[in-house]
Amino acid sequence: MTETLREPYGAVLARLGGAQKGAARGAPAYSRFVNRRIGRYLAAAAYKLGLTPNAVTGVSALFTFSGIALLVALPPSWGQGAAITLLLVLGYAWDSADGQVARLTGLGSPAGEWLDHVVDAIKVVTLPLALAVGLVVHDVVDLVWLVVPLVSVVVSSVLFFAMILTDQLRRAHGVRSVAPTEGRFPWLRSVLVLPTDYGVLCWTFLLLGAPHVFLWVYATITACTAAFLVLALVKWFREVRAL
């Protein structure tokens, strides 16, 4: 513990740079290039404070679910949207930090990975549900708009489960899920799937002060994610069948 406190922050950051896992093949640009970098700075701070990976997961959950709670507790406004965005963005960054702390400290475990995935599974369901409840409680839009967050619940839940299950099955058969590095534009896929990026969704809550504008953007993201899900399910099924 004393050695951890004495190690300079910059040195911890440098070590984290060499402790990064390969990016997932389908990782969207914000998650891959922005959120992971922010998470690296938070992971270095967490390491200096002596936080365990599970404690970092807890910090992530605290920020995320505080933001989700505000969707129900307060009526839509620009201030509410800014607060929710900040909490969700920080929660997502801390979510990236827990795995980096685990790799840096060697304290990663199946239990830690399980906890991380369970928190994420709760998050992807409760976020759109809280949005739907908030819209009803504060009576700011027509009830027909509830279709959007309700569809989002199904799409995000199925996508998360299918993605995690596919990755686990690949691992079980010795297939690594890493980003492609060949080709002229190896980053192009990450940019094309930006509408499915949870990090991008977090930033859209800045628009809550204009509920109808926000819901049109949210509906567009949900539609793009649903289209991606259909294509991904077909692709993943073929991959799993070939294992």
Q: What's this model's pTM, rounded to 2 decimal places?
A: 0.89
Q: Does residue 105 or residue 159 have the better pLDDT?
A: 159
Tokens at 236, concatenated: 């993943």
Q: What is the pLDDT of residue 184?
A: 47
Q: Please choose, from the candidates 74, 215, 221, the residue with its C-alpha nearest in 3D space to the C-alpha of residue 147.
A: 215
Amino acid (1-letter code) at residue 141: V
DSSP letters, 88-142, are HHHHHHHHHHHHHHHHHHT---HHHHHHHHHHHHHHHHHHHHHHHHHHHHHT-S-
Question: Any idea how long the chain is?
Answer: 243
pLDDT at 188 over 90: no
Mean pLDDT (the chain) is 88
Q: Any residues with CB less than 8 A from the CB of 15 and at least 6 apart, and which?
A: 104
The residue-averaged pLDDT of 125-130 equals: 97
Q: Any residues with CB less than 8 A from the CB of 153 and at least 6 apart, and which?
A: 125, 128, 129
The residue-averaged pLDDT of 56-73 equals: 97
Integer angstrom CA distances of residue 170 from 26, 68, 78, 230:
14, 33, 43, 20
For 172, counting Cβ atoms within 10 Å of its Cβ (0-12 exposed, 13-18 middle, 19+ buried), the class is exposed
Place of tokens 């290039």: 33
pLDDT band at 48, cuts 50/70/90?
confident
Tokens at 15, concatenated: 């070590």
pLDDT at 25 over 60: no
Q: What is the pLDDT of residue 80?
A: 96
